[in-house]
């Protein structure tokens, strides 16, 4: 969640975002179980669960995309991202690609035998 968005209780944020009221149980079900694997973003402040109107809008957009079959990939951790980059670079090297990726530009070549 963005730092400058005002935090609201779950029912108030949903009401403000959609114009419709939802029961507290439904709000917490969206937070805990979600819909088709998409959960509502929340934070805990002083023992209360809060969210933002923007988080509700993102939740609605993602659940709609999943329902329409446009499942977006889950965010990767930095470790997973680095592993994917290494795999892609290796596959490119095997395919005969000679260009360096943006992440490699400006790096010193590895020590050892020079390529011929």
Distance CA 42, CA 12 (A): 13
Residue 57 confidence (pLDDT) above 90: yes
Residue 30 confidence (pLDDT) above 90: yes
Please state, for a pLDDT cut of 90, what percent of the chain lies above it.
Answer: 46
Residue 99 confidence (pLDDT) above 70: no
13 within 8 A of 55, measured Cβ to Cβ: yes
Give me the sign of the Cα torsion angle 23, 30, 57, 66.
negative
For 7-26, write each residue's pLDDT tens digit.
Answer: 999 999 999 999 999 999 99
Res 73: pLDDT = 55
Distance CA 80, CA 65 (A): 24
CATH no. of 1-97: 1.10.1660
Residue 29 confidence (pLDDT) above 60: yes
């Amino acid at each position: 969640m963005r730092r400058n968005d005002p935090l609201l209780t779950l029912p108030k944020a949903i009401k403000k975002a959609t114009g419709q009221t939802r029961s507290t149980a439904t709000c917490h079900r969206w937070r805990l179980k979600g819909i088709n694997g998409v959960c509502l973003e929340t934070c805990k402040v002083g023992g209360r669960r809060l969210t933002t109107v923007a988080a509700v809008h993102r939740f609605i957009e993602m659940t709609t995309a999943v329902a329409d079959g446009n499942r977006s990939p889950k965010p990767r951790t930095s470790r997973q991202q680095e592993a994917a980059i290494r795999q892609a670079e290796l596959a490119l090297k095997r395919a005969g690609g000679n260009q360096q990726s943006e992440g490699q530009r400006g790096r010193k070549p590895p020590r050892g035998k020079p390529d011929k």
